[in-house]
Amino acid sequence: MTLPEVVLRQPPGRPWGSANVSPFCAKLETYLRMAGVPFRAEPGDPFRSPSGKMPFAEIGGETIADSQVVIERLEAEHPTPLDAWLDDAQAARARLVRRMLEEAYYFVALWLRWGDDEGYATVAPAFRALLPAAVGWLAVPMIRRGIVKSLHAQGTGRHTRERIHEMGKRDIDALAHAFEGPFVLGARPSTCDATVFAFVEITLGFPCPSPVRAHMASITPLATYHAMMRETYWADAGLGPLPS
């Protein structure tokens, strides 16, 4: 069975030499690369996304939003799905790790970029570069206000800077303890690797020093894993060296 070409809609470019500005887009592109699904990445317009978020994908004439929904759809159609070898306990561990990163650590990473003044000074120019010159100067502070509001509503934004750093570091410790090696669940890759790689990538690849980034970089199994994933699946993408 031949898989149809997927059109991956996401923010363009490799800001700071990193896979994508968005962890969910980096996750989906990593999956497509790992699973050998033919794809073409095109700039995405969130107003054309069924969920209003990115990434979204066009598969055989259908437009589907949400990295996980797209992955599960492709896994169901794939002749050799990445998760076929998982038993129930491994699938449960994969879900716990994925949901911890996507539903908890994500907000720490979002705060590091948009809530923290130093992070914002780094992320703002990269976002302006994604927008037409005339709107960037107005739109980026508006995006910041919206994200700060959502961080407050979700709860992470109500903590002190120090506590947010601590939460991120403890999430990273949990990830490191759940990690088997050489892939997240052991000898073979699974879809969970797409998520883990993406969140390690957006942390280590964001060029604004933080205690969270330094902590992740200091955990040798995660740093080694990150380099292995980049080399195995992303070698042709021209990703840059990690910021110091």
Ligand X SMILES: N[C@@H](CCC(=O)N[C@@H](CS)C(=O)NCC(=O)O)C(=O)O
> 47 or 61: whose CB is closer to ligand X?
47
Asked if 22 touches ligand X (CB under 6 A), the answer is yes
Q: How far is the CB of 77 from ligand X (least distance, A)?
A: 19
Number of residues this chain uses to bind ligand X (CB under 6 A):
11
* Residue 61 Ramachandran class (φ > 0 left, ψ -120 to 50 alpha, else beta): left
> 72 or 241: whose CB is closer to ligand X?
72
> 3-state secondary structure string, 184-209?
CCECCCCHHHHHHHHHHHHHHCCCCC
Asked if 127 touches ligand X (CB under 6 A), the answer is no
Asked if 66 touches ligand X (CB under 6 A), the answer is yes
Q: How far is the CB of 218 from ligand X (least distance, A)?
A: 26
Asked if 74 touches ligand X (CB under 6 A), the answer is no
Asked if 196 touches ligand X (CB under 6 A), the answer is no
SS3 call for 82: coil
- Which has the closest alpha carbon to 181: 228, 213, 217? 228
Tokens for 91, please give them. Answer: 């699938």
> 20 or 210: whose CB is closer to ligand X?
20
Contact between 52 and 46 (Cβ < 8 Å): yes
Q: How far is the CB of 54 from ligand X (least distance, A)?
A: 4
Using CA of residue 3, residue 70, residue 237, residue 101, what is the dihedral sign? Answer: negative
Task: Give me the torsion for CA of 125, 127, 130, 133, rounded to 10°.
Answer: -60
> 68 or 90: whose CB is closer to ligand X?
68
Q: How far is the CB of 106 from ligand X (least distance, A)?
A: 8
Member of 24, 39, 114, 206 binding ligand X (CB under 6 A): 24
Count of Cβ atoms closer than 10 Å to residue 92 Cβ: 11
Asked if 54 touches ligand X (CB under 6 A), the answer is yes
Q: Interface with ligand X by CB under 6 A: which residues? A: 22-24, 46, 52-55, 66-68
